[in-house]
Structure 1
Amino acid sequence: MEKSQKNGGDRMTEGIFKTYKLITKLSGTITTRSPMRIGAGRGLEVLESDLPIVKNARGLPVIPGSSLKGFFRGNLQRILYMKFDGEGVESLLNEIFGGKEKDENTSSILFHELKAEANKYKIAERKHIAINPEKGSVRNLFDVECVMDGSMFSGCLLTARNLSPKGLALLKTVIDATNFGLAKLGGFKSRGYGSIEIRLDELRFILPGKNADELKEGLIIDGLIPNKEKSCLKLNSAKFRADGKVWIDDTEVKAQIHETPSFFGVEIVITEDEISKLFDGLLKVVV
């Protein structure tokens, strides 16, 4: 009986590790550089703004995960189209962000809701006019709720399952475009809303079922995403090594290494400037 239970546990553990080859968690901070609004539909209360923003149950402004997903997918699509053909780009995006059809992949990335930091945000109402496009006259006046520039949203941006470090690094192209002022978040972009700055605070790689000794010898993780033949980029493997220095796909970074009981594995923690250094090194190999 005891042997049977042990074998069953081994099979379950093996199944988990086959499903989770690499787990990634990326945390950061979004700071608004202009008014920004992510709308919650039309206001229904008498004293409510005509167009309120999304808030959580405590009344704090939030950036929904769905908004972040659409933001990163849409802007990465535009960037990739500058270099690759349409079919290859769409296949790659479907692998990373999930496809619309039933037979396509679910998303390898889960984007999380970011809430405004306490005492580091300001909500305001701004008045706008709607123009009658036929007559060119003012149609009506309406109030728009927004968070003002300087507001900060922080927390876990995303978690990913089996996404290669090079695949994750593609998101850095969107962050760079955003910080340069080329990509905006939310609505009313043509009215000057949505300029933001994205700062990456912490990146965690978890290697389930692995230990520090294996990491010293060097690990190659295969079968990662993206890996389909139609994708414009195949980035389906990763190399990890930590022998006093930490190397991820031949890019050296400063990182902390410790074993984690959550997934019976080893965790690599990278912070702030080292994240950008890693992503820039990986992108040089990709492009």
Structure 2
Amino acid sequence: MFDTFKNRLKLEGVLTTVTALRISQGRSTEPIGSDLPVVKDALGKPLIPGSSFKGAMRSQLESFLRGIDPNLAANPAIEAEWAVPYQSVLDEQGNTIKTGLTQLKEQAETIFKNVSGKESKKDKWLTDELLQRTDLVSILFGSPWIASKFQVRDLTVLPDFWFGQYQERDGVAIDRDTETAADGKLYDFQVVPAGTPFQFRAIVENAEDWELGLLMIGLHQFETEQIPLGGGRSRGLGIVCLEVDDVWWFDYPEDQPEELLTYLQRLTQGDTTLYQLSQEQFQAHRHNWTEALITYLRDTIVAPTGSQVASREA
């Protein structure tokens, strides 16, 4: 998947908090200050971990795919429901219903035991087997056995719009029996104010068109305020809005190495204008990538009647 460079999509924009944001770093041990401070960088400015952004998008996309077919997205919280668990999953009679990573490695060792140059062949066989079993979201976002194609940097606050003003809010635990505030359960927590802008930067490499279509749906959810971030979401916290301002796209034709040489040369010179897309061009690509995803799901995963035609282990 990653041994040969094929394409690269670079995205930059601004993620703005529509409502107050609370991404907590855990309970504070300081004698004064908030009980639950937000995540900050080394300079004390608010920070949105790239993993928080990526995880929220992944969860939303998994939800969509499960709505189409439960087998299209694995459950990362339960190992037995991973696309490839570490150990095989057995039914009550001891029959294998899902082959584990350990058993796949043992099979590869057996198949190529007496084969010349077995290491490279064994590795290729194992990689192919893993890819065939990996669910769609994990192919793009990564898994314990496959590196992610989608990289998101930590989102840092735009310095010109940050004046060091956090908000402190109070919370209280409710006694379910009396339906009143529980004794000694009053606490406070810190939030980043609404209207705070963060810089968004992401890169996708070696993605198929349908994988980029999956990403476009995820981006659209952030652009339309459909994916909240952080804690306190049931009380209205964490609503954010993404605006993608700048997009660079390079798709390498394998039979034209001169284009890749030119691309690398321009990169080192700091000139990437040739590969920057206008908003109109980006929208056209988004449409094509999304259509590629829909076609892939309809033709490869789900038959026109709605029955599954391609068996995938999830």
Q: TM-score, normalised by structure 2?
A: 0.63
Tell me the percent identity. 27
CA RMSD, Structure 1 to Structure 2 (Å): 2.9
What residue number does 2:263 align with? Answer: 259
The number of residue pairs the alignment matches comes to 224
What residue number does 1:206 align with? Answer: 250
CA distance in 1, matches of 2:64, 2:180: 38
Question: Which structure is higher in helix share?
Answer: 2
Contact 1:120/1:150, CA 8 A, preserved across alignment:
no
Q: Does 1:51 align with 2:49?
A: no
What residue number does 1:144 align with? Answer: 189
What residue number does 1:126 align with? Answer: 169
Cα displacement (A) at 1:186: 1.0
What residue number does 1:87 align with? Answer: 71
Contact 1:64/1:113, CA 8 A, preserved across alignment:
yes
Cα displacement (A) at 1:208: 6.0
Match of 2:154 among 102, 105, 113: 113
Cα displacement (A) at 1:150: 0.6
Aligned ranges for residues 7-26 of structure 1 at < 5 Å?
18-26=3-11
Contact 1:166/1:279, CA 8 A, preserved across alignment:
no
Structure 2 unaligned runs (5+)? 75-134, 295-314
Question: Which structure is higher in strand share?
Answer: 1
Contact 1:43/1:51, CA 8 A, preserved across alignment:
yes
SS in structure 2 at match of 1:186: coil
Q: Does 1:35 align with 2:20?
A: yes
For residues 214 and 19 of structure 1, do their structure 2 counterparts lie closer, same or farther at Cα, with a shift above 3 Å needed? Answer: closer
For residues 273 and 187 of structure 1, do their structure 2 counterparts lie closer, same or farther at Cα, with a shift above 3 Å needed? Answer: farther
Q: TM-score, normalised by structure 1?
A: 0.69
Contact 1:201/1:271, CA 8 A, preserved across alignment:
no
In terms of Rg, which structure is larger? 2
Cα displacement (A) at 1:34: 0.5
Structure 1 unaligned runs (5+)? 1-16, 220-257
CA distance in 2, matches of 1:273, 1:29: 19
Cα displacement (A) at 1:201: 1.6
Q: Which amino acid aligns with 2:263?
A: E
CA distance in 2, matches of 1:89, 1:22: 25
For residues 162 and 143 of structure 1, do their structure 2 counterparts lie closer, same or farther at Cα, with a shift above 3 Å needed? Answer: same
SS in structure 2 at match of 1:19: coil
SS in structure 2 at match of 1:148: coil
Cα displacement (A) at 1:183: 2.0
Aligned ranges for residues 173-188 of structure 1 at < 5 Å?
173-188=217-232
Contact 2:73/2:136, CA 8 A, preserved across alignment:
yes
CA distance in 1, matches of 2:189, 2:61: 29
